[in-house]
Chain A
Amino acid sequence: DAGVIQSPRHEVTEMGQEVTLRCKPISGHNSLFWYRQTMMRGLELLIYFNNNVPIDDSGMPEDRFSAKMPNASFSTLKIQPSEPRDSAVYFCASSPSGGSGRSYEQYFGPGTRLTVT
């Protein structure tokens, strides 16, 4: 079975440019998560969706970041405009669990390494 698919695997862009990261979750999973990982801050939850609806976006750094999930098989994370401090590895994860009070077993994609110069 295919795991979580992310694209691109690597992205190098200049400051001020728009960046779009893509994720295809595991079929049948109803929760999707976007994380950012850096050496300094570790793995940070940015936003998560349950049944395509954003549940918690409190981790989104600022208005430059936005995420969408138009259907159960696709999500995007957009940064506009990008800044050098956005450089990190961005992970998408999906989970078969859901609902208030539940904990989630997450299946991660390979990540997108973003470099903003």
Chain B
Amino acid sequence: TQLLEQSPQFLSIQEGENLTVYCNSSSVFSSLQWYRQEPGEGPVLLVTVVTGGEVKKLKRLTFQFGDARKDSSLHITAAQPGDTGLYLCAGGNDMRFGAGTRLTVKP
């Protein structure tokens, strides 16, 4: 089983602040996905990173895959209340998810 550890577990910030959340493993992944889940809904796919060192941008969200393909980060610039949710990373042949980072952005 390829374990994914996410940090921090909880994050509460004010609107307009920047933040970074992390997804780490001791295993190498061929690709890694990031999802956001809002209360009462299923996770929604945000991005897939495939190449070591790859950086992908989705509006104010920047995703990076580590050079060794063992870790990934998600950076949000100028966070907004609409970014509130549970951010999950997933990867590996066994389709495991990390425990997630629960983000709250206060207006």
Indicate with 1 or 0, residue by residue over A35-54, a CB within 8 angstroms of chain B CB atoms.
10000001101001000000
Contact A48 B42 (CB under 8 A): no
Seed contacts A91-B42, A101-B30, A106-B33; 16 additional CB < 8 Å A-B pairs: A42-B97, A43-B43, A43-B88, A43-B97, A43-B100, A45-B96, A45-B97, A93-B42, A102-B93, A103-B30, A103-B31, A103-B32, A103-B48, A103-B93, A108-B43, A111-B41
Query: Does the CB pair B93–A100 fall under 8 Å?
Result: yes
Which residues on B are within 8 Å of A, measured CB to CB?
Answer: 29-33, 40-45, 48, 88, 90-100
Do most interface residues of chain B lie in helix, strand or loop, or is the interface mixed? loop
How many A residues, CB 8 Å from partner?
22
Please measure, in the bound complex, the distance between the C-alpha atom of A30 and the C-alpha atom of B43, giving whole angstroms: 19
Q: Are B33 and A103 in contact (CB under 8 A)?
A: yes
